[in-house]
Amino acid sequence: MARLLLGCAVLAGFTACPKNVDARPAAERKAVRLLALTAERETLKIPEVAAQLEADTDQERTPHIVAVGESPLLSAEGADLFLAGDEQGTLGFTVDNCILLEVLSEDGKKLGRAAVGYLNGLSEGKEQIDLLGRRAFAFEPNEVNLVSLLPEHGRFRVRATVLDIGGVGHVSDVFLIVTPRSTAAGDDLREK
């Protein structure tokens, strides 16, 4: 009986679907600085405004521009794109009030956008800009994932505009962390 079971186990091992152990993720892990630390400044002392935008607030509705940053061209096929406060992806980041994130194609066309931070809403004309994540001034490392804004294929840039709507504006260091998605999850799904 033991030989029969051993024979069945060996046969099942030869006929099972082999996993591709040499498969590599479509993207490699990398970190890109998106925004540099900007000290707190009183909103009224920030001359630059985003006149095309309107914040849903009881304070001044036209946001002031605290800082702007833009990534180089990136590709994130098969990867997640997180925000963190350091290159290692171990520190969180802070912003007062929000970061408007815009994903741009190679030729500069807007592919997607959302805001991250502490605000009730943000719009451009009649278009409401989605809020990504929870409403807060501080975020944990890798809490905010931009994957829903990214194109499925091709290269893109991420532009970040820090906006303030009253009081003081500031942002900590913010990095884009490109992290390959695990292939293990895909293997588990195929086996079911």
Between CA 101 and CA 132 the distance in angstroms is 9
Average pLDDT over residues 158-183: 93
Query: Which of 21-25, 65-69, 75-79 is predicted most confidently?
Result: 65-69
| pLDDT at position 22 | 37
Closest CA to 80 of 127, 128, 148, 2: 148
For 146, other C-beta atoms within 10 Å of its C-beta total: 21
The model carries a pTM of: 0.81
Q: Give the end-to-end CA distance of the chain in Å, rounded to a whole number.
A: 29
Looking at domain 23-191, its CATH architecture is Sandwich (2.60)
Closest CA to 175 of 148, 149, 151, 139: 139
| pLDDT at position 5 | 44
| pLDDT at position 14 | 42
Question: Rounded mean pLDDT of the chain?
Answer: 85
| pLDDT at position 4 | 45
Between CA 153 and CA 39 the distance in angstroms is 37
> Domain locations in the chain?
23-191
For 95, other C-beta atoms within 10 Å of its C-beta total: 28
Strands 156-164 and 64-70: antiparallel
